Amino acid sequence: MDSEMTSAAPAPLSEPVAHERVAPVWHTVVLLVFLVGVAALDARRYGGVAPVLHLNRIRLYSLSVLLEFLMVGYVWLLGLRPAGKKLRDIIGGRWTHWWEPFRDVGIAFLFWMVVIAMLASLQTSMGVNEDAIRAVKLLAPQSLKESIAWVGVACSAGFCEEIIFRGYLQRQFLAFTGNTGVAIALQAIVFGIAHTYQGWKGIVTIAIYGALFGILAVMRKSLRPGMMQHAFQDSFSGLIVRVLSKYHYI
């Protein structure tokens, strides 16, 4: 009886069952093509030298949130659901005690320190990424209303992008290759390509950032700490750019 109950329990992300596909191959190919297409459009619009005039950031932020949730809907409705899976199966890390959310917040904060060290190291080795600075200055909020909307975008990115890249794609790549390291690397490369508008240095930086997220997801068997850090990082980055721009530091 005990063995039957144990075998029926949901397996964490790193156990052998994680090698099973959570969606058909075509489903993953369509998503990859879509991500590359969006990356190309973003690079053309925001990665150029010429500034984008009269940018409606509230509209842009709203469209960004809508697009990310549409991709999560695609992953769930046409990928996970037909395979008998749920979003919580790839998110993992259910909270069963009151203190567990605080633990994940602490892990997210420690992970943030690792990310800061990584970013500082990359900037030292590769130099300042002018493409990324130009793009972030363009997209960062410029008013209180935009700042509030930006935090919403950041939370959306933290939730949706972790599901798409570390939850869905990493698990699919693991099923395709049977190798956790390769799966982490492949989703990280796609994550980097999705940020092509930040230039080649941005692609490298974001890919390494994505790899760290992938490692964290495997270590914690959960996307929750990564979701938190992702949301914190994006929120902080946009708001600090607003402050620095306001006082002409950048």
Render the burial of 88-102: b for 16+ CB within 10 Å, e for the rest: ebbbbbeeeeeeeee
Give tens-digit pLDDT for 169-178.
999 999 999 9
Give tens-digit pLDDT for 86-110.
999 999 988 999 999 999 999 999 9
How far is residue 85 CA from its own chain's centroid?
A: 21
pTM: 0.89
Q: Residue 149 and residue 144: Cα distance in Å, rounded?
A: 9
161 within a domain of the structure (yes/no): yes
Give tens-digit pLDDT for 117-139.
999 999 899 998 988 888 888 89
Q: Residue 100 and residue 119: Cα distance in Å, rounded?
A: 28
Number of domains making up the chain:
1
13 within a domain of the structure (yes/no): no
The torsion region of residue 199 among left (phi > 0), alpha (psi -120 to 50) and beta comes to: left
Q: Residue 5 and residue 181: Cα distance in Å, rounded?
A: 31
The residue segments making up the domain with residue 119 are 21-47+55-90+103-245
The torsion region of residue 127 among left (phi > 0), alpha (psi -120 to 50) and beta comes to: left
2 within a domain of the structure (yes/no): no
Name 221's bridge partners.
none
83 within a domain of the structure (yes/no): yes
3 within a domain of the structure (yes/no): no
Check whether 7 has a pLDDT greater than 60. no
CA distances from 12 to 81, 107, 126, 150, 209 (A): 18, 18, 37, 33, 23
**Higher-pLDDT residue of 59, 54:** 59
**Would you state the structure tokens that stand for residue 76, as one six-digit string?**
């769930």
146 within a domain of the structure (yes/no): yes
11 within a domain of the structure (yes/no): no
5 within a domain of the structure (yes/no): no
Please state, as a whole number, how many other Cβ atoms lie within 10 Å of the Cβ of residue 2: 6
Give tens-digit pLDDT for 186-211.
999 999 999 999 999 999 999 999 99
**Would you state the structure tokens that stand for residue 87, as one six-digit string?**
């979003």
